[in-house]
């Protein structure tokens, strides 16, 4: 395994602690196992006993239906606003009209299916029990069946993610495996990875997080060439059931007893948030950087964002150019703010950061002369970049 090539350092400043997740009325009492939004306002959640709930107004109203023959559904994914798939105990269902109608696709598998991911409207992958992997190149009209070689063949696969048609990761009861040829061959990932992966997601900058058993989380900055493992991120080792990036560096995790953790540095460090619920949260989805939804047992749905007062887009970084100290004035209400510094090659630079009233003070005295990029992110998903010249 290659050595980790760079380190990231971020400052985390918590300015207040009021609840920022709000519970919604789902109109179902069945467990909800996954959620997917095609826009900030339009989304669906699927769950036990064939239930599906849909909203077209950002969760102000949820409408329940039962389109899946009483089967438990564990995953939902849309490639476009119209084309979507649901996987579970009865196989794979497909909609071509945004969830108005669903048809059962013939996969020929018969195993319980736990997660689904479509790279586009034609190419998709599904993973399930007994190390099952299904793939399609025609939108699910035909499915190819494979079984991952395992020392414990009865283990389930629980998570799948593809960066493009060739490169993907799968995880579950036996760490993570990756492919570089569209799933023709699967290679075990780092031995540092946790044994049971319940969920994973990747940002747009090759950063990724995989999490699961006992609250363990692993993270990567280079599409999995190197993984980092810091142990459990949750109190009392509670498991994490869902993770989702809201922006290239910001990621949320949800899990047992309503826990929510947020990272603004791609999983390097985590901060707990108040969900306002105590039921298990099974999945989380952010259709945009400022709006997200989490779903869980007993029909639980909570929402974050929509409108807020956050970082000012016109704030200043001063002095700039600078030789030693740089100040960043903060204009936040109830957010966690992270600061990251990159050089012109995109490498993250460790920083000495101090809080000074309403400012963050960064010491750049020892840095070489050159151009740097300051990246500011918040737990609301706000992301701002500023060019900094070190003299």
Is the N-terminal amide bond of 321 cis, ω within 30° of 0? yes
Q: How many CB atoms lie within 10 A of CB 309?
A: 11
What is the pTM (predicted TM-score) of this model? 0.76
Report whether pLDDT(195) > 90: no
pLDDT in tens, 325-335: 988 776 543 44
Rounded Cα distance between 372 and 342, Å, is: 6
What order of strands is seen across the sheet that includes strand 240-245? 240-245, 251-255, 260-263, 271-273
For residue 5, the 8-state DSSP code is -
Please check the confidence at residue 14 and state whether its pLDDT lies above 60: no
Kindly write down the DSSP assignment for every residue of 76-114, as one continuous string.
EEESSSS-EEEEETTEEEEESSTTS--EEE--S--S-EE
> Which tokens go with 149?
């070689």
Residue pair 164/150 in contact by the 8 Å Cβ criterion: no
Q: Was domain 20-305 assigned CATH 2.130.10.10?
A: yes
Mean pLDDT value of segment 57-79: 95
Segments of the chain assigned to CATH 2.130.10.10: 20-305
**CA distance linking residue 162 with residue 179, whole number of Å:** 9
Token pair recorded at residue 224: 């999995």
Maximum alpha-carbon separation in the chain: 67
Residue 284's pLDDT is what? Answer: 98
Does the structure show a pLDDT above 70 at 293? yes
Place of tokens 């992301």: 383
According to DSSP, the β-strands at 301-305 and 21-24 are antiparallel
Return the higher-pLDDT residue of 220 and 315.
220
Cis peptide before 265 (omega within 30 of 0): no
Residue with tokens 């005295």: 365
Q: What is the pLDDT of residue 382?
A: 56
pLDDT at 356: 67
Distance between CA atoms of 233 and 217, rounded to whole angstroms? 7
pLDDT tens digits, 356-368:
666 778 899 999 9
| pLDDT on residue 95 | 97
Give start-end residues of each CATH 2.60.40.10 domain in the chain. Answer: 325-390
Backbone φ, ψ for residue 19 (5° rounding) = -65, 135
Percent of the chain with pLDDT over 70: 86
To which CATH superfamily is domain 325-390 assigned? Immunoglobulins (2.60.40.10)
The region of weakest confidence among 44-58, 289-303, 329-343 is 329-343
Residue for token pair 């953790």: 261
- Mean pLDDT value across residues 119-144: 96
Token pair listed for 273: 């948030």
Query: Considering only 207-211, 216-220, 342-346, which range has the smallest mean pLDDT?
Result: 342-346
Calculate mean pLDDT across residues 50-71. Answer: 95
Residue 110 CB: number of other CB atoms within 10 A?
13
Structure confidence at residue 306 (pLDDT): 66
pLDDT at residue number 336: 59
Are 80 and 66 spatial neighbours (Cβ–Cβ below 8 Å)? Answer: no
307 pLDDT above the threshold of 50: no
Give kind and range of the element (H or E) at residue 343. strand 336-343
220 three-state secondary structure: strand
Q: Number of C-alpha atoms within 13 angstroms, CB side, residue 373?
A: 12
Lowest mean pLDDT among 32-41, 61-70, 201-210, 356-365: 356-365
Indicate the average pLDDT of the chain.
86
* DSSP single-letter state for residue 322: B
Tokens of 155: 């283990």
């Amino acid at each position: 395994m290659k050595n980790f090539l760079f380190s990231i350092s971020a400052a985390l400043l918590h300015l207040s602690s009021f609840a920022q997740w709000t519970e919604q009325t789902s109109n179902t009492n069945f467990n909800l196992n996954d959620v997917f939004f095609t826009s900030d306002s339009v989304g669906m959640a699927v769950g036990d006993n064939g239930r599906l709930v849909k909203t077209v107004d950002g969760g102000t109203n949820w409408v329940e239906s039962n389109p899946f023959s009483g089967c438990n559904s564990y995953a939902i994914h849309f490639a476009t606003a119209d084309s979507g798939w649901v996987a579970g105990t009865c196989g794979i269902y497909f909609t071509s009209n945004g969830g108005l109608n669903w048809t059962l696709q013939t996969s020929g598998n018969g195993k319980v299916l736990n997660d689904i991911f479509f790279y586009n409207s034609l190419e998709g992958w599904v993973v399930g029990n007994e190390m099952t992997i299904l793939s399609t190149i025609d939108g699910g009209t035909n499915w190819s069946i494979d079984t991952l070689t395992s020392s414990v063949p009865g283990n389930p696969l629980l998570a799948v993610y593809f960066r493009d048609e060739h490169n993907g990761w799968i995880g579950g009861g036996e760490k993570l495996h990756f492919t570089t040829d569209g799933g023709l061959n699967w290679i075990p990932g780092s031995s540092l990875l946790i044994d049971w992966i319940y969920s994973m997601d990747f940002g747009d900058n090759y950063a990724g997080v995989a999490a699961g058993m006992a609250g363990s989380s692993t993270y990567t900055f280079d599409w999995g060439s190197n993984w980092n493992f810091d142990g459990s991120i949750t109190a009392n080792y509670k498991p994490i059931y869902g993770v989702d990036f809201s922006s290239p560096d910001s990621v949320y995790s949800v899990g047992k007893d309503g826990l929510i953790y947020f990272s603004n540095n791609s999983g390097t460090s985590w901060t707990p948030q108040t969900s306002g619920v105590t039921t298990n949260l099974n999945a989380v989805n952010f259709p945009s950087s400022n709006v997200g939804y989490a779903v869980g047992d007993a029909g639980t749905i909570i929402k974050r964002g929509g409108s807020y007062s956050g970082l000012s887009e016109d704030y200043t970084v001063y002095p700039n150019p600078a030789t030693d100290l740089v100040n960043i004035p903060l204009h936040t209400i109830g957010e966690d703010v992270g600061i990251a510094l990159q050089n012109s090659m995109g490498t993250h630079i460790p920083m000495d950061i101090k809080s000074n009233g309403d400012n963050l003070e960064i010491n750049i005295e020892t840095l070489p002369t050159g151009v740097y990029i300051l990246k500011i992110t918040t737990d609301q998903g706000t992301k701002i970049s500023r060019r900094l010249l070190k003299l």
